């Protein structure tokens, strides 16, 4: 229960604004926060609002056929339809969903758009520029991958176990006949960014490649002879002579195409 004669703490502190009533033209006072008040009393407001028309909600309903015609035959966008009918975009979207009308794909929409010749040229230039930039970046990255010796050695190391059983077999031959070659298939020696299997240790620029014939077919998609030719050509470019020896798999064991004596003779020919 409020005490009689109690004075509110903010009495007289609030600013009061003098206004006149819109209906009865009587002056009245309002506090500042209600400065938009137009009537002196509720009864005046009733008098004012009685004769006024209420806000009407316009109900528009399109049939499925009408909407389909606008969208697919007249090729209007959903935004355009909304503008034309006088509803919001979301209403049109809801109708489309309700009537299960398919919508245009991005490419179909893009075809409907008509750019001027200048705009098209501009867009083309922008696309070309970005494509070139991306291409340059990609090539730079590839070049780094294929020319950085550290990266190549690392990759070869992780690629597979080295030496392979075939390489081990060849190492045995080298040891047995005391040939001046050493194993380097683990990426320790790179000639023109490519890694041969064996290199000569007595100073001659000779390297040896060993390959199982089936590997060429499966991994390179080319014949072993083709692979050998490319390999020899590559090392030749850098001033190296390359010998290629093929092997094949027989009963889960590798066997060289040439016999041991033939291999040794071929190597001794060069060194
Ligand atoms: Zn009034």
In a domain, 191, yes or no: yes
In a domain, 137, yes or no: no
Residues 190 and 103 in one domain: no
Residues 6 or more apart in contact with residue 108 via CB below 8 angstroms: none
Alpha carbon of 11 to ligand 1 centroid (Å): 25
The residue behind tokens 């290199």 is 199
Residues 44 and 76 in one domain: no
What pLDDT score was predicted for residue 117?
84
Question: Crossing angle for the helix pair 89-99 and 78-85, nearest 10 degrees?
Answer: 110
Residues 197-219 pLDDT 10s: 888 888 788 888 888 877 655 55
Alpha carbon of 16 to ligand 1 centroid (Å): 18
Residues 101 and 171 in one domain: no
Structural domain containing residue 193 = 162-270
Alpha carbon of 12 to ligand 1 centroid (Å): 24
In a domain, 55, yes or no: no
Q: How large is the average pLDDT for residues 151-160? A: 71
Q: How large is the average pLDDT for residues 169-179? A: 85
pTM: 0.42
Alpha carbon of 141 to ligand 1 centroid (Å): 82
Alpha carbon of 149 to ligand 1 centroid (Å): 94
Residues 172 and 226 in one domain: yes
Alpha carbon of 23 to ligand 1 centroid (Å): 5
Nearest in space to 36 (alpha carbons), one of 51, 55, 22:
22
Structure-derived torsion over alpha carbons of residues 214, 218, 224, 230, reported in degrees to the nearest 10 = -150
3-state helix, strand, coil in the chain (%, to 5): 50, 15, 35
Percentage of the chain modeled with pLDDT above 90: 7
Alpha carbon of 30 to ligand 1 centroid (Å): 13
Alpha carbon of 49 to ligand 1 centroid (Å): 13
Confidence category of residue 166, pLDDT binned at 50, 70, 90? confident
Alpha carbon of 26 to ligand 1 centroid (Å): 6
Alpha carbon of 21 to ligand 1 centroid (Å): 5
| Structure token pair of residue 236 | 């030749």
What pLDDT score was predicted for residue 54?
62
Alpha carbon of 255 to ligand 1 centroid (Å): 114
Residues 42 and 83 in one domain: no
Cis status of the peptide bond prior to 163, with omega within 30 of 0? yes
Alpha carbon of 5 to ligand 1 centroid (Å): 30
What pLDDT score was predicted for residue 2?
53
What pLDDT score was predicted for residue 27?
92
d(CA 207, CA 103): 65
Alpha carbon of 259 to ligand 1 centroid (Å): 121
In a domain, 136, yes or no: no
Of the listed ranges 3-12, 61-70, 204-213, 261-270, the one predicted with least confidence: 3-12
Complete DSSP assignment for 6-41: PPPTTTTTS-EEEEE-TTT--EEEEEGGGTT---SS
What pLDDT score was predicted for residue 20?
92
Average per-residue pLDDT in the chain? 82
Confidence category of residue 69, pLDDT binned at 50, 70, 90? very high
Alpha carbon of 29 to ligand 1 centroid (Å): 12
Nearest in space to 195 (alpha carbons), one of 182, 181, 209, 206:
209
To 5 degrees, how large is the angle CA 16–CA 21–CA 27?
55
Alpha carbon of 53 to ligand 1 centroid (Å): 21
To 5 degrees, how large is the angle CA 16–CA 18–CA 23?
130
Q: What's the structural domain count of the chain?
A: 3
Alpha carbon of 42 to ligand 1 centroid (Å): 8
Alpha carbon of 41 to ligand 1 centroid (Å): 6
Contact predicate 77/89, CB 8 Å: no
Alpha carbon of 260 to ligand 1 centroid (Å): 121
Confidence category of residue 221, pLDDT binned at 50, 70, 90? low
**Number of residues assigned to the chain:** 271
Neighbours of 95 (CB within 10 A): 23
Residues 99-146 pLDDT 10s: 999 888 888 887 887 778 888 888 889 888 888 888 888 888 888 777
In a domain, 153, yes or no: no
Residues 235 and 210 in one domain: yes
């Amino acid at each position: 229960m409020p005490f009689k004669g109690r004075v509110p703490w903010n009495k007289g502190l609030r600013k009061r604004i003098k206004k006149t009533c819109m209906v009865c033209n009587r002056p009245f006072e309002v506090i500042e926060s209600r400065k938009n008040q137009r009537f002196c009393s509720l009864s005046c407001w009733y008098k004012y609002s009685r004769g006024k028309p209420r806000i009407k909600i316009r109900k528009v309903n399109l049939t499925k056929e009408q909407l389909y015609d606008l969208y697919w035959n007249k090729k209007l966008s959903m935004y355009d339809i909304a503008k034309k009918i006088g509803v919001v975009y979301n209403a049109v979207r809801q109708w489309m969903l309700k009537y299960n009308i398919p919508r245009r794909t991005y490419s179909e929409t893009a075809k409907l758009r008509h750019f001027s010749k200048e705009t098209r040229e501009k867009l083309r230039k922008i696309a070309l520029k970005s494509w070139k930039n991306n291409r340059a970046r990609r090539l730079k990255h590839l070049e780094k991958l294929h020319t950085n010796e550290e990266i190549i050695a690392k990759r070869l190391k992780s690629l597979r176990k080295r030496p392979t059983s075939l390489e081990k077999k060849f190492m045995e031959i080298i040891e047995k006949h005391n040939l001046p070659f050493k194993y380097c298939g683990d990426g320790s020696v790179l000639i023109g960014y490519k890694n041969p299997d064996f290199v000569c240790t007595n100073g001659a620029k000779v390297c040896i490649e060993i390959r199982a014939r089936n590997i060429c077919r499966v991994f390179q998609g080319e014949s072993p002879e083709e692979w050998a030719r490319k390999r020899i050509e590559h090392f030749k470019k850098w001033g190296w002579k390359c010998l290629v020896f093929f092997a094949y798999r027989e009963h889960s064991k590798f066997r060289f195409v040439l016999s041991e004596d033939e291999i040794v003779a071929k190597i001794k020919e060069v060194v």
